[in-house]
Amino acid sequence: MRVRVSDPKLGEVIRDEEYKGPLTTPGEKYRLILAKIANNPAAGQGAVSPELAKLLPARLRCIIKYSDFKKEWSVVAMDFGSLDPEKWYSSNVK
């Protein structure tokens, strides 16, 4: 069972640049995005627990790939971290 307690909201985009790292496929278009995330409590939900609240605001970094066939972007890899530039909770983006 899943219970949604918040809807993270994408805030300021800090960096948006072409990505040419090890997660690419030749001939495809990739972007590296670094942005801030804010907490947007879900409608009808009570207060967010203190443990969860201290994770937000946070940062998101992701690699996205453009499909010429579908004419849309999709996420290849994503990490979530604190506002501290050295603290990421995962290391999927290489």
Convert the pLDDT of each residue in 41-83 to its tens digit. Answer: 555 455 556 666 666 678 999 999 999 999 999 999 999 888 8
- For 83-89, the CB contacts below 8 A with 24+ separation are 83/36, 83/57, 83/58, 83/59, 88/61
Domain ranges in the chain are: 9-81
Looking at the chain, the whole-number percentage of residues with pLDDT higher than 70 is: 72
Is residue 48 within 8 A of residue 6, CB to CB? The reply is yes
Report the predicted TM-score, pTM, of the whole model to 2 decimal places: 0.73
Confidence of residue 89 (pLDDT cuts 50, 70, 90): confident
Query: Residue with structure tokens 């066939």?
Result: 69
The rounded distance, in Å, linking the Cα atoms of 90 and 19 is 19
